[in-house]
Structure 1
Amino acid sequence: MARRPRPKPVTLSDAAAARVQEIMEERGAGFLRVGVKNGGCAGMEYVMDYALAPEPLDEVVEEKDVTILIDAKAVLFLLGSEVDYEISPLQEKFVFRNPNQTDACGCGESVTIIPAVDA
């Protein structure tokens, strides 16, 4: 019996992919690292960084000409998330749209996330 295709843990909007590509070209990085860490008043924080190479246990996702690296411990927290890039008159920022996020602090810097049930 053939297995159904596994969904990507994280996707990028067109705006996020374009901005990441611009920044990666400026910095000479080859990969976007996305994850979560413990911290903030709501319990967890999203993290984004650039990397030169994947770590041995990273989940590797190809999305709109961007290679995304996700630490294996973060995959279930990020499953189904979309990273977007928003521009307003006062700020430009990356935004996570995560179906596993249940709460956020008032300042928007930390979130509460429950791990997805891997189906």
Structure 2
Amino acid sequence: MHMFAGKRILIVEDEYFLADETRRRLDQFGATVIGPAAHVEEALALIKQVEIDAAILDVHLGDQFVFPVAEELDRLDIPFVFATGYDPAFIPKKFTGFAFCEKPAELENIALALFGKDAPKKLQ
């Protein structure tokens, strides 16, 4: 879990308890947590205001989907993973090469997807 040490990680999650648990665990691993953001607009504002190394995105945020955030992160070349309980077929085709972790997500798998030596931002 040392891969998170010193990294600035954006959490985009609308379920308070999941977001708080992820935040606490990332803090324990030496990451600086950005957010959590519960809405697309809030996440986009954080991306503009704060330097981010990577992001963990829940796909469904209340009545919104996180895809505008994913598009902005991709445009800025910031790695991210989708952490969701949805079927991967639900993710738009343009994001099919990105890492996907099922909820509840294991931070070890997320760390490897984001920062592992052989894990590119877009998976083949």
- TM superposition score normalised by structure 2: 0.25
Max radius of gyration: which structure? 1
- Larger proportion of strand: 1
Higher relative CO (Cα under 8 Å, sequence separation at least 6) belongs to 1
- Larger proportion of helix: 2
- TM superposition score normalised by structure 1: 0.26
